[in-house]
Amino acid sequence: MTERDRRVVRTANELVRRHGLTLPVDVAALCRRYGARLVTLSELERRGMSREAVFAVWGNRDGVAMASRRGRAISYNDRAAENRVRFTLAEELMHLLLGHTADRRFAAARQSYDAAVYACYEAEAKHGACMLLVPPTVYFRYRELYGTAGVARLCRVSRACAWTAGRYYEENENELRALFTAEPLRCPTCALDRRRPLHPRRVSADASF
């Protein structure tokens, strides 16, 4: 784990520790708490912008973070699936908190840094988003009971997100236990989908972090 990796871990840990979040993390409320105004694709279309024009400005179909003297904002595609929206908001919030948008080479419509810097910033933001939505404390607490699919449902993320996070956590478990010190987030019901109750994969004691 590099020092930049550790910085991402500490940032995500601080968000969870400071705000006493519960599952699933209300990432939209967290964005607002850090002063990010949320602007949806639907709102931009109502202002007269075409969807393709918006995507061209963003450089993708999911969203973008912006920071200026006027403040912070996150524009996002509210027409995407819920899990995708949640991840986009978490990713863009991490871009803001990790200081990527403070880089003078960054602009929402024009990013002038090279491909290597772009790839680094994207990887850090995605990594941080996974850790915010599926904190290591949650993964280690519920992995044996529910498996990756169950953790994804508890955290309301895609299985791909939970699997990616879990693989990283397994590879860096010892260091994460030292760096990520927030209390485990608990889901009040441990079964978010009431139509299909989430049953433990096997009966065992709920291990502490």
- Cα-Cα-Cα-Cα dihedral of 71, 125, 52, 113, to 10°? 80
Q: Are 65 and 121 in contact (CB under 8 A)?
A: no
User: Per residue in 23-61, pLDDT tens?
Assistant: 889 999 999 999 999 999 999 999 999 999 999 988 899
CA distance 29 to 8: 20
CA distance 42 to 49: 10
pLDDT of residue 187: 59
Residue 138 one-letter amino acid: V
Structural domains of the chain sorted by starting position, each given as residue range(s) with its CATH number in brackets: 3-133 (1.10.10.2910)
Cβ-proximal residues to 19 (8 Å cutoff; 6+ apart), any chain: 30, 33
Q: Which two tokens stand for residue 11?
A: 């940032």
